[in-house]
Structure 1
Amino acid sequence: MLTGSDLLAKVKELGDVSKSDLVRACGYVSTKKNGGERLNFTAFYEALLEAKGVNLGESGVAGIGKGGRKLSYIATVQGNGNLLIGKAYTALLDLKAGDEFEIKLGKKQIRLLPTEES
C-alpha cells in the first residue's frame, strides 16, 4: 500500500481513472475468505488525506498504528509458537529495548507486568 508522497505521485500519474482502478493500483486491496477481491476505499482515502496533510483526528491517538491504520488489539500465535505484540503497541506504551516484564499466567490469559527495574 502506497502512502505519503508515493501515494500522491501515483494518484497524479494515473490521472482520470476509475476510483476502483485507483484504489487497486495504489495497493489498497485485500482478499476475501472466498478468494474474491476487496477494495479498501476507506483506508485509501484516509491515507490520501494524511498524505495531503489533513488530520481528521487527534494527533497521536491511541489505537492508531503506522500509516494511520487502526490497531486491532488482537495477537496471533505464530507457527513457531511465539506471540508477537508489535512495534505500534510498544510505542503506545513508550516501551524501549531491554524493558522487562513479569509473565503472569491465569486461566486462559497472559498478563505482562513491568518489573521493578523497568
Structure 2
Amino acid sequence: MRNKKVQPLTGKDLLKKVKKLGNVSREEKAIECGYYTLTDNGQKRVSMVKFLNALIEAEGISLDNELPTESKKRGRSANYRINVQSNGNLSIGKAYTEKMGLKPGDEFEVILGRKNIHLKQIEG
C-alpha cells in the first residue's frame, strides 16, 4: 500500500467530505481527503498547506492577482471609513451609495448618538 498514490479530493467533492467529517481535527480531515504523503517508514505526513489551499479554491476564493472582470473597475473600493473634511462636512462616497442602490434625491434622517451617527433612509 505504500506505493499507492492517493488522489486528493478537490472542488465540491472536497467540500462535501469536509462537511461530512464534522468535528474531527484538521489533520484528520486532510488525511481523509487525501492530502498526505507516506514517508519511507510508512508514516503519513499531512500536507496542510495543500489541503487548506484546495479548500480555499473549492470555496471560489482567489488569493492570486487575477481579479474577476467586475473587480477591475477603476477607482477605490469602500473601506468603510470616512474623515471629517476641513469644512466640517462628512462626505459619503459613490462606492457606498452604489453598494446600497441609492439614487440622487434619496433622503435620510440624521440620528446623533453618543459616539456615532446613524443615517435612517426616509421612504418616499
TM-score class, shorter-chain normalisation, is 0.3 to 0.5
Q: Which has the larger radius of gyration?
A: 2
What is the TM-score normalised by the length of structure 2? 0.45
What is the TM-score normalised by the length of structure 1? 0.47
